Amino acid sequence: MLQLHVIPPAFGLRNTGPFGLKSEMALTHLKQEFELVHTADPRKAPKGKLPFLVDDGVVVADSELIVEHLDRKTGGGLFGHLSPREIGEGRAFQRLAEEHLYWIMVASRWLDDDWWPNIPAAFFGFLPFPLKYVVPAVARREVGKTYHLQGLGRHSLEEQKGFARRDLEALAGKIGDDPYLLGDRLTGFDFAVAGLLAGTIDNQPATWMTHLTREFEPVVDYTERVQAAVGVYGREAV
């Protein structure tokens, strides 16, 4: 059986990592039998990050590689029916979500002084004393450095909110009245975009990114629609 290793539940989410949720959505949509394995320490993962998939002894690390692996495994079950133009559009919005909006979501958790206290217990509670107090501070500094190197961390909070708002406006405009990102067909790109949005919208307690994202009703409705279509939700069952 396939094994998908993901980040454990926290913040009212079954999986705090959108990339794990994206992979779980793809596996479920393709009707693949798999076991969900919670791995608290990403340092034990093949590339030092989660998720990763184990398929009959073959390890696939990184959600995009997982989705591509599953697409090949199922003969194009996620992308095979798409035209080159649709693939281009879908990939562009995937990149917007995963390589830009994602980092703003991370910053709204890790770098907001008011929200930060939620992080240590959720991500570092498994560490022994005194590491559980030392490692979170070190990790936060590393996130800050990465965010600065990425470029977004060089901007003021209001400017960061402006970047996020423009991303969300683009998504809302692309979705329009369509049920999914590329029209009336659910694709692997929807799992990437909706996976990121679900972890933002249902994050508890709410971050400033949660409040901002909820202002965009088409985006919220789209995220809920994708989750319902697959039967996989980011939020924990109430």
Residue 237 belongs to a domain: no
Domain residues for the domain of 10 are 2-230
Average pLDDT over residues 144-163: 98
Does the residue 208 lie in any domain?
yes
Within a domain: 86: yes
pLDDT at 44: 86
For residue 35, being part of any structural domain is answered with yes
pLDDT in tens, 51-97: 999 999 999 999 999 999 999 999 999 999 999 999 999 999 999 99
pLDDT in tens, 168-227: 999 999 999 999 999 999 999 999 999 999 999 999 999 999 999 999 999 999 999 999
In 3D, which of 144, 137, 150, 106 has the Cα closest to residue 7?
106
**Percent of the chain beyond pLDDT 90?**
90
Evaluate whether residue 235 is within a structural domain. Answer: no
In this prediction, residue 238 carries a pLDDT of 64
Q: What is the CATH number of the domain that holds 101?
A: 1.20.1050.130
Q: Residue 12 falls within a domain, yes or no?
A: yes
Half-sphere exposure of 48 (CA within 13 A, CB side): 0
Count of structural domains, the chain: 1
